[in-house]
């Protein structure tokens, strides 16, 4: 998709322009906030299957994210295969045992105490999908030569945000999971060394008896996260 000879600057009229009234804008902003405030990170999944089509559509939404120089420095691997999910669980739990046994350090472990997390990760088997997001340090032109990517962490973070919002909008729940370190995912999923695993999203429907940690429902009030200068 990156042919050197098509990359020169060429402005085109803004596509997909929407004309919205102030009232429509107000209603849309409120409706989106009402939807987003019902998103909760879930650790307890049901085994109810989710179609690959839905997962693909949500990842397509993630792929619309802005990125440094529009290089789109991300790759998503969506896994429903039970034996591959089990392998990822086993390798993640191996890392997590070290982390929770002290590798994280006392301060980090104390910060996690209210979240109730531990090295036991059954959701990696139970959730019908795992989506692993990789960040690409460099890309390749169509002729195979390499180019550097910019603002990779920011770009991939934005794409992950789009993905989480798209999954929630579709009626799915997810868990952002970051075993530490994550290099085992390159080998398990056959991704090149130039790609850095950023996170695993376990995706599915919540179990009937799913819970969340009480502290996770407390969000900072707007006046604490926002300064308006008008
Ligand atoms: N990767 C570990 C630890 C962990 C770290 C943070 I920061 C969290 O918000 C939650 C967990 C784990 O997944 O258990």
Strands in the chain per DSSP E: 74-79, 129-136, 138-140, 146-148, 173-177, 195-204
Cβ(109) – ligand 1 distance below 6 Å: no
pLDDT at 3 over 90: no
Cβ(177) – ligand 1 distance below 6 Å: yes
> Quick one: pLDDT at residue 61?
99
The residue nearest atom 2 of ligand 1, judged by CA position, is 179
Per-residue b or e along 16-37, where b marks 16 or more CB atoms closer than 10 Å to that residue's CB: eeeeeeeeeeeeeeeeeeeeee
pLDDT at 1 over 80: no
Q: What are φ and ψ of residue 13, in 5° steps? A: -60, 145
Cβ(117) – ligand 1 distance below 6 Å: yes
pLDDT tens-digit map of 96-147: 999 999 999 999 999 999 999 999 999 999 999 999 999 999 999 999 999 9
How many angstroms is it from 66 CA to the middle of ligand 1? Answer: 27
How many angstroms is it from 28 CA to the middle of ligand 1? Answer: 34
How would you class 190 by CB atoms within 10 Å of its CB: exposed for 0-12, middle for 13-18, buried for 19 or more? exposed
Cβ(115) – ligand 1 distance below 6 Å: yes
Report the residue among 98, 119, 178 best suited for mutation to probe ligand 1: largest number of ligand atoms under 8 A from its CB.
Answer: 178
How many angstroms is it from 109 CA to the middle of ligand 1? Answer: 9
Cβ(30) – ligand 1 distance below 6 Å: no
pLDDT tens-digit map of 41-93: 999 999 999 999 999 999 999 999 999 999 999 999 999 999 999 999 999 99
Cβ(176) – ligand 1 distance below 6 Å: no
Domains and CATH numbers, the chain: 43-225 (3.40.109.10)
Cβ(112) – ligand 1 distance below 6 Å: yes
Q: Tell me the residue length of the chain.
A: 230
What's the DSSP call for residue 205? P
List Cβ neighbours of 57 (8 Å cut-off, separation of 6 or more).
166, 170
4 pLDDT tier (thresholds 50, 70, 90): confident
> Quick one: pLDDT at residue 5?
77
Cβ(95) – ligand 1 distance below 6 Å: no
């Amino acid at each position: 998709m990156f042919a050197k000879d098509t990359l020169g600057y060429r402005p085109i009229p803004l596509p997909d322009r929407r004309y919205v009234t102030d009232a429509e804008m107000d209603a849309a902003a409120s409706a989106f906030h009402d939807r987003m405030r019902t998103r909760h990170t879930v650790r307890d999944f049901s085994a109810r299957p989710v179609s690959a089509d839905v997962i693909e559509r949500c990842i397509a939404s993630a792929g619309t994210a802005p990125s440094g120089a529009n290089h789109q420095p991300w790759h998503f691997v969506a896994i429903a295969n039970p034996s591959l999910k089990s392998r990822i669980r086993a390798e993640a739990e191996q890392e997590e045992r070290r982390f929770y046994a002290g590798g994280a350090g006392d301060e980090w472990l104390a910060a996690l105490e209210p979240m109730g997390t531990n090295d036991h990760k059954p959701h990696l088997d139970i959730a019908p999908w795992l989506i692993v997001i990789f960040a690409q340090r460099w890309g390749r032109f169509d002729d195979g030569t390499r180019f550097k990517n910019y603002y990779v962490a920011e770009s991939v973070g934005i794409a992950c945000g789009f993905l989480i919002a798209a999954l929630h909008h579709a009626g799915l729940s997810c868990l952002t999971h970051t075993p530490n370190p994550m290099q085992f995912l390159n080998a398990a999923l056959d991704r090149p060394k130039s790609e850095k695993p950023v996170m695993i999203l376990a995706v599915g429907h919540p179990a009937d008896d799913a819970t969340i940690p009480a502290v996770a429902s407390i969000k900072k009030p707007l006046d604490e996260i926002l300064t308006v200068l008008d």
